[in-house]
């Protein structure tokens, strides 16, 4: 695909943080067939959107995005020489810009829904846990010593610990667009993720000696009505 050779260097450490690198993109692209079983989208548009969705995470591309006037303008510029029509280019650019809004909207295109789903599903397992640590492990503590079970936000800018981030990602399960998409989640991997969070809470409680262990409340809060599947 024509974007791979251009973006791969920008998606390679140290030009991008761990968890948003080329392997993440490749894993998302591989989800196209199963996503196509419940959503209707063009596979070429999907692959292109996946490759472009982390442009803002790249240290070497961030300035170019700003200079171009934002995500849409930069994406359209990149797509100018592509075989996509103007309408298709716009749909791809909007999907790339809006995939960061993890709660689905009624106005989301099928392409955007597929992009959001793939991005979420790649975090629901052991590799997702590593991605959290790789991305923010050098800027956030494992837990907040004053509030070890603090889980107050799902806003990236408001995170105060990796514990908080683990549950921010867990909330994405209940925010998925439909039960049909949720059924595509690897159940063994996601159960591992939930059990990891429980074990993390247990260890934090033992270390800080600040009972009670509130991790189960965090799990319930993150999963909402889907908690019963993993209790």
Contacts of range 25-33, beta carbons closer than 8 Å, 24 or more positions apart: 25/50, 25/51, 25/53, 25/54, 27/122, 27/127, 28/53, 28/118, 28/119, 28/122, 31/117, 31/118, 31/121, 31/122, 31/184, 32/114, 32/118
**Where do the domains of the chain lie?**
4-118, 123-230
Distances (CA, A) of 63 to 91, 97, 155: 23, 16, 23
Rounded to 10°, the helix 162-170/187-208 angle is: 150
pLDDT at 211: 66
Instruction: Report d(CA 28, CA 43) in Å as an integer.
Output: 12
pLDDT at 1: 67
- Contact indicator for 194, 216 with CB cutoff of 8 Å: no
- Contact indicator for 116, 46 with CB cutoff of 8 Å: no
pLDDT at 212: 79
Instruction: Report d(CA 37, CA 31) in Å as an integer.
Output: 10
pTM across the whole model: 0.92
* Count of Cβ atoms closer than 10 Å to residue 119 Cβ: 20
List average pLDDT for each run of 10 residues in the chain, which is 231 residues long.
88 91 96 97 97 92 88 89 92 92 83 96 96 88 85 75 93 94 96 96 88 86 94 83
pLDDT at 72: 85
Q: How many CA atoms lie less than 13 Å away from 89 in the CB half-sphere?
A: 16
Only one residue has tokens 């949720």, namely: 182
Handedness of CA 108, 114, 118, 124 (dihedral sign): positive
């Amino acid at each position: 695909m024509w974007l791979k050779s251009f973006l791969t260097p920008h998606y390679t450490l140290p030009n991008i943080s761990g968890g948003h690198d080329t392997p993440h993109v490749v894993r998302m692209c591989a989800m196209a067939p199963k996503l196509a079983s419940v959503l209707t989208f063009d596979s070429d548009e999907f692959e292109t959107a996946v490759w472009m969705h982390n442009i803002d995470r790249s240290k070497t591309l961030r300035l170019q995005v700003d200079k171009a006037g934002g995500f849409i303008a930069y994406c359209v510029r990149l797509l100018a020489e592509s075989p996509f029509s103007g309408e298709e280019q716009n749909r791809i650019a909007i999907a790339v810009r809006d995939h960061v809004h993890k709660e689905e909207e009624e106005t989301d295109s099928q392409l955007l829904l597929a992009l959001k789903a793939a991005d979420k599903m790649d975090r629901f397992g052991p590799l997702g846990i590593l991605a959290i640590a790789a991305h923010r492990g050098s800027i956030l503590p494992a837990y907040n010593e004053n509030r070890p079970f603090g889980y107050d936000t799902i806003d990236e800018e408001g995170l105060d610990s990796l514990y908080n981030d683990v549950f921010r990602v867990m909330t994405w399960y209940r925010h998925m667009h439909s039960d049909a998409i949720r059924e595509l989640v690897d159940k063994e991997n996601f159960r591992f993720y939930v059990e990891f969070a429980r074990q993390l809470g247990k260890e934090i409680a033992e270390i800080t000696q600040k009972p009670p262990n509130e991790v189960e409340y965090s799990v319930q809060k993150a999963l909402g009505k889907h908690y019963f599947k993993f209790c």
